[in-house]
Amino acid sequence: MKATQQLHDLGQSLWLDDISRNLLDSGTLKRYVTELSVTGLTSNPSIFAKAVKDSTDYDESISEKLKAGKSGEDLFFDLAIEDLRRAADQFRPIYDQTKGIDGWVSLEVSPLLAHDTAGTVAAAKDLHARAARPNLFIKIPGTPEGLPAIEDSIFAGIPINVTLLFSREQYLAAAEAYLRGIERRIAAGLPADVRSVASLFISRWDVAVANKVPEALRNQLGIAVAKRAHKASLALLASSRSQQIKQAGGQPQRLLFASTGTKDPKASDVMYITSLAAANTINTMPEGTLKAFADHGDRGALVPLDGSDCEEVLNSFAKAGIDIDALANQLQDEGAKSFVKSWNELMASIESKSAALQATV
């Protein structure tokens, strides 16, 4: 039995952190669903920038949209929605079979809105309406300005993938925004079943401290932070507040492990998968990591429910001079800036491709 199937049978969802027209046209995504137990998909501006820039797969569609007067951001979202609708339709049977627990795809709002609460809410509503698929999450960063946008979007009935979370505290703040949104719906007499996932980024922790800690601590921080957040998520799910929401028809926000591609060439290429096996969670991974795990991965030991093996590791980093809370805030801020950079590169790719296609008309 493949390791991917073992994780699936454990109750952890395996999502692909990738999207491209070729992935859809070639039948590769369908094969990953049937052969590698993939049950969902995430996307981001960097992924789309690469897909558009490195192929001609989008040229015909871009040409059609240019003739219709589309350009820039509006043209991009049309392209992205076309791809994600197709992916959502492929995952729809899983979404239906699991009653909405699994089978999701994700589309991110413009990163330029990361510090614009009202603009983010408006964009989330618009994009979800344009996509017109029940199993499509809108991704909103869990920045301080993003948290009220998450709450308001949930209250508006928009399924949300909270992105750019780096610590237990940031996860809990995102979970609080989700709970408030659902509680407002209950108070208003609206259905409580609006889904959400909270995406905790893992590998960037280890990149950030790689040259600041002893060799014995390398590649341990991201996993320890993830285990601490997992413990917090279990406590939250068991709380009376969560249970009251469940009784009203709401469902728990699921914890998602993101940024799980190994960055250290000396380390195992599947270490963030084997170290984070946990039921009722999601692990979204790049295509290369997914294939590597299917080829030579091992399910690994389950993440301890009490988080007993993470605090000692975190204490070791504190003794080595690493301020976990400060670094979490730094990583979130850097992540938001990195998303803006990727977004600008994506818009440049769209503009360059558009100009080249118009020149051939």
DSSP assignment of 34-82 equals: HHH-EEEEE--HHHHHHHHHT-STTHHHHHHHHHTT--HHHHHHHHHHH
Q: Using DSSP, state whether 316 is helix, strand or coil.
A: helix
In the block, which residue shows the tokens 């805030």? 329
**Cα angle 12-15-16, degrees, rounded to a multiple of 5:** 150
Q: Using DSSP, state whether 206 is helix, strand or coil.
A: helix
In the block, which residue shows the tokens 């007067």? 69
Q: Backbone phi, then psi, for 18, in 5-degree steps?
A: -170, 155
In the block, which residue shows the tokens 């899983």? 94
Residue 67 is among the residues annotated as catalytic for this protein:
no
Residue 232 tokens read as 């917090």
Distance between CA 311 and CA 225 in Å, rounded? 9
**Which residue out of 139, 227, 231, 353 is catalytically annotated?**
139
User: Do residues 133 and 106 lie in contact, with contact meaning Cβ atoms separated by under 8 Å?
Assistant: no
For residue 142, the tally of other CB atoms under 10 A from its CB is 26
User: Which sign, positive or negative, has the C-alpha torsion 136, 295, 224, 265?
Assistant: negative
C-alpha neighbours within 13 Å on the C-beta side of residue 341: 6
DSSP assignment of 13-25 equals: EEEEE---HHHHH
C-alpha neighbours within 13 Å on the C-beta side of residue 25: 9
Active site residues: 139
